[in-house]
Amino acid sequence: MSAKIIVLLACVSACVAHLCMLSPPQRSPLTGINKPGSRSCFMLGAPCGKQAPNINKLYLSAGENFTVVFQKNLNHFYAANPGYFSVSIGSESDEKNNRTLTELYRTADTSDPSLTIMTANIMVPRPVVEQPFVIQTQYVSNNPTEPPAFYQCADVVIML
């Protein structure tokens, strides 16, 4: 079997349930997101899919409401035990040390098709000091035939 075929076979089981984060923008470039299965939306590994922080960060104000926009880029709804999407926040230091982030929003996965845009209204928390934060979106598939979770992170600074 050629290496190419092995890679293709691996993709049949693993390259599913992609998650893109549109706003604030995810760390990896937002390319090919109008088609299911965008490579830039296939990030594995908690907490941020192994993507390095962006130098450019979006500035948010503590206490304001913000709409996080993300996309179920590739559907793999598992009806027997539906997964979920969540939005969490933590400081850059929480991310670096892999400490548990604070979950701000969670919604169950549904049979909505690939490319469905989803929104989460969150209230930006008030940190003790003005500092960089990470907003993480997660697609937990609960699907035994695919990776357990997909991650995206966006870099923001919360102003007091």
Ligand X SMILES: *[C@@H]1O[C@H](CO)[C@@H](O)[C@H](O)[C@H]1NC(C)=O
**Shortest Cβ 4–ligand X spacing (Å):** 29
d(Cα 131, Cα 123) in Å, to the nearest integer?
A: 17
d(Cα 24, Cα 145) in Å, to the nearest integer?
A: 30
The correct pick among 8, 9, 117, 123 for binding ligand X (CB under 6 A) is: 123
Q: Does 116 bind ligand X (CB under 6 A)?
A: no
Over the window 51 to 90, marking each residue x when it contacts ligand X by CB under 6 A and - when it does not, the resulting string is --------------x-------------------------
Q: Does 98 bind ligand X (CB under 6 A)?
A: yes
Q: Does 41 bind ligand X (CB under 6 A)?
A: no
**Shortest Cβ 14–ligand X spacing (Å):** 17
Long-range CB contacts (within 8 A, 24+) of 75-81 = 75/17, 75/36, 75/111, 75/112, 75/113, 75/114, 75/116, 76/16, 76/17, 76/141, 76/143, 76/146, 77/109, 77/110, 77/111, 77/112, 78/109, 78/141, 78/142, 78/143, 78/144, 79/111, 81/142
The nearer residue to ligand X, 13 or 100, going by C-beta atoms, is 100
Q: Does 122 bind ligand X (CB under 6 A)?
A: yes
**Shortest Cβ 52–ligand X spacing (Å):** 13
**Shortest Cβ 107–ligand X spacing (Å):** 12
